[in-house]
A and B are shown apart, each in its own frame.
Chain A
Amino acid sequence: MTTTTLAVLVPLLPFLGAATGLLLGRTAPGYVRPLAILPTLAAAVIAVVVAARQGGGPAIDASTRLTPTGSVPIDLALHLDGFAVLVAVLVGLVATCVQIYSTAYLRHDPRYPSYAALVSLFTSAMLLVVYSGDVMVLLVGWEVMGICSYFLVGHYWETPEARAASLKAFLVTKLGDVPFLIGLFALAADTGTFRITGILGAVANGGLDHPTLIALLLLAGVAGKSAQFPLHTWLPDAMAGPTPVSALIHAATMVAAGIYFVARLLPVFAESGAALVVLAVMAAVTMIGSGLAALAQDDIKRVLAYSTIGQLGYMSGALAVGDRGAAVFHLLSHGAFKAVLFLAAGVVIHAAGTNSLTAMSRMGGLARRIPDAYWTMTVALLALAAIPPFAGFFSKEAILVAAEHTALGERHVAPAAAGWTVLVAGLLAAVLTAAYATRLWLLAFRGRGAEAPDHGRQPAAMTTVLWVLAIPTIGFGLTVGVITDWFDGHSLTPSVTTAVLSTGVGLVGGLVTYGAWHHTMALAARTPAGAVVAHPEAEPALIEAEAMTHHTAGYGDAPGTPDPADPGRLLLGPLHRHAATGFHLDALYATLFVRPVQAAASLVRFLDREVVDTYVRGSGTGARWLGTAVRRAQTGNVQTYLSALLAGSLVLAIAAVVFANVNAGS
């Protein structure tokens, strides 16, 4: 089979798996698991084959005309360059791991068939985004992901948190998607094509008339999808979904799509220096704000969610300095270690019976209960904190090097201001990243207190995939010399200055956190906070759902728990209160947007119920009254009727005579 045929199969297989799974889910429950895993696995294998065949060479393009629209045609096109094939491999790998993990995690869930089918559909949509060579077809995958995230985040729709979170995820990303669509149309209007190759060719020839406007419109959609400030608020709340879904959304699909899209169309953005500076500021605010917020969260998954936002900020930063190689490199390594972190967090929540770090810090020996999760999570946290030689170090270095070169004027793709913004914010965020990674590790695995409850061994399906994903987490960075062919042939090796600087600040962040933890540990014994699991033998997903439901009652609301033993509280000082709530952005949005919209909705409701309906009801009442009046004439006395008949005939006769005379006279 040709590479093109294979590439078509990659998004198609999970899609067929999803369709069959949805159709057969009820009638043939035995086929649900194979239907969930096998197509995704096959897609992953084929993606590897496609990547090997493409081999970082020139981009492979194939297309067939989908719709002759009369103006700008829409093509079913493939555009396979080094970025596309590598990201597809990551998506396939993570999706396969998530599917395998889910078979154990949601093993007794009654809605597992639809869940697995939606995960497959999600994967297929992301693969479509990755391979598509036509932005309209890309948009289809983009929107399918939006609706899939709505369904999957709302998987536990019995809980109000999940319902609110899924709606929020959908609405916030849609808020970005509207300008995104307009941006795509503006782009097509300027370049006259939806094909990515065509767009890039037009940009190279200077065919773009409104680069800043288009870039800013597209950035709005990217900010929504990739959870960048100011549209990031949906991501921490999306933790109300099951853990494998979080892993999928955060590691490979959905949030990666925005970054990937900018990477594909980077020349369009590079046309406008203003857009790059906006992107750089957006990235800087995102990185630092999310780092501070992550340091204050209590829910283990919310820490990871804010960490994802921060790492996506790094990728946006790399794009802002015009280095898409570094951005996609970080996207890949982040995909690997963030998948490990989330899947391991699922194991931790299952074993501890709670998602609260406060409760875990009062629980001794959790690391001994779940050695697989402990070790893989340790490795992944080291990668997250960019400690050499793990994958995160190399990819973050590539970004900082690009930022440094831009700031010092050695690269001229982006303005120096963008370079400085990204560099400074990146180093600050490196401190914060190391700090919250250390805090997470210490609170989760170095707790002291009552022994963690023993639930027996974790299912093999859940622990094996952790090790599978730990391999790229450890080793992917070391391939940095080999894979440059895939990334525009642009060197991604770290430079000494930034390596020493970022590792140094990372170590400082980690050590300060350790010191603070050591200091506050003594306070922990005074405020006990234990976890009680209602159904210790139940499936992990149920335990997680219960933990989420009981979190507020047991430990305070999900973001901030009044725990004096929290090192984050000591480190952040007065900032902690604000950081815990994500710097009150949700409250601000509630005041600025949610309440006005609700007020407008109640006004519309009032107009509909009280004004429009009054007319409708009035016409009914009027006809009724008229009918009542007319009915009075219906006396039942035949003589009355006859009299009326006679009177009417007389009037008509007289009228006829009079008119005849009048007309005759005229």
Chain B
Amino acid sequence: MHLAYPAVLAALLFCTGLYGVLARRNAILVLMSVELMLNAVNLNLVAFDVWLRDALHSGQALTLFTIAIAAAEIGIGLAIVLAVHRNRGSSDVDRLRDTAETDAAESLPGDEDDTTGTEDQATAPAGKAKKAEATA
């Protein structure tokens, strides 16, 4: 089998994954796209390992490592998504914008740390309220 087939397939997979990471709004789909990219890389590793006839098969060994780490990563990722979803009722990446710099956040004095816990959140400025929500 010619090297071009798995290479092109891996490139397509990677691009699909990249598109998914950059364009999908659902966090789970973003995680799935990351998996796609990882698998594209795995495919490349295996294909080149065969093509280069490596005696030690380091490509295949590395692929095993990648798969193991990807499993761990997806576990943590899904746990985060689950926690975010429980808190907010949504896992849209677009709406998780608490680190955005807003004008309201800029006008705040630098004493957020000692007031967030006690102050009534309804009266606090919008940006601050959002942050408090994120850390809750």
User: Interface on A for B, CB 8 Å cutoff?
Assistant: 631-632, 634-639, 642-643, 646
Contact = CB atoms under 8 A, between A and B. Distances in A.
Interface in B63-103: 93-94, 96-101
A643 B18 CA distance: 10
B23 interface: yes
B111 interface: no
Nearest to A627: B106
B4 interface: no
Given A631-B106, A646-B18, A639 B97 contact: no
Contacts of A639: 21-23, 30, 93-94
A643 B22 CA distance: 6
A638 B96 contact: yes
8 A-B pairs with least C-beta separation: A636-B100, A636-B97, A634-B101, A631-B101, A636-B99, A635-B100, A643-B22, A639-B22
Contacts of A642: 21-22
B136 to A, nearest CB: 17
Contacts of B97: 635-637
A282 B85 CA distance: 99
B21 A637 contact: no
A628 to B, nearest CB: 8
Given A634-B99, A636-B97, 8 more contacts: A632-B101, A635-B97, A636-B99, A636-B101, A637-B94, A637-B100, A639-B22, A639-B94
A526 B98 CA distance: 91
Contacts of A636: 96-101
Interface in B33-54: none
A637 B92 CA distance: 11
Grouping DSSP codes into helix (H, G, I), strand (E, B) and loop, the A interface class, with mixed when no group exceeds half, is helix
A636 B98 CA distance: 6
Contacts of A638: 93, 96
B93 A637 contact: yes
Contacts of A637: 93-94, 97, 100
Nearest to A632: B101
A352 to B, nearest CB: 65
12 contacts: A631-B106, A634-B100, A636-B98, A636-B99, A636-B100, A637-B94, A637-B97, A637-B100, A638-B93, A639-B21, A639-B30, A639-B93
B108 to A, nearest CB: 14
A452 to B, nearest CB: 70
Contacts of B99: 634, 636
B94 to A, nearest CB: 6
> What's the interface size class on B, roughly?
10 to 19
Contacts of A635: 97, 100
B22 A646 contact: yes
Nearest to A630: B101
Contacts of B98: 636
B16 to A, nearest CB: 15
Nearest to A633: B101
Contacts of B101: 631-632, 634, 636
A631 B104 CA distance: 12
A636 B96 CA distance: 7
Nearest to B130: A636
Nearest to A643: B22
A192 to B, nearest CB: 67
A174 to B, nearest CB: 50
A634 B102 CA distance: 9
A438 B127 CA distance: 89
Contacts of B106: 631
A631 B30 CA distance: 26
Nearest to B30: A639
Most B Cβ at <10 Å: residue of A635, A638, A643:
A638
A637 B100 CA distance: 7
Contacts of B100: 634-637
B96 to A, nearest CB: 7
B116 to A, nearest CB: 18
Nearest to B100: A636
A317 B23 CA distance: 103
B2 to A, nearest CB: 25
A631 B99 CA distance: 11
Contacts of B23: 639
B92 to A, nearest CB: 10
Nearest to B97: A636
B83 to A, nearest CB: 16
A642 B30 CA distance: 12
Contacts of A631: 101, 106
A638 B30 CA distance: 11
A258 to B, nearest CB: 63
Nearest to A631: B101
A36 to B, nearest CB: 57
Interface string B95-134: 0111111000010000000000000000000000000000
Nearest to B25: A639
A529 B106 CA distance: 71
Contacts of A632: 101
A637 B96 CA distance: 7
A155 to B, nearest CB: 49
B58 to A, nearest CB: 25
A164 B94 CA distance: 72
Nearest to B23: A639
Interface string B9-23: 000000000100111
A640 to B, nearest CB: 9
B132 to A, nearest CB: 15
Contacts of B18: 646
B42 to A, nearest CB: 21
Nearest to A639: B22
A645 B106 CA distance: 25
A329 B21 CA distance: 107
A639 to B, nearest CB: 5
B11 to A, nearest CB: 15
A504 to B, nearest CB: 88
A634 B101 CA distance: 6
Nearest to A634: B101
A247 to B, nearest CB: 62
Most A Cβ at <10 Å: residue of B30, B96, B97:
B97
A188 B82 CA distance: 93
Nearest to A641: B99
B95 to A, nearest CB: 9
A328 to B, nearest CB: 73
A634 B127 CA distance: 14
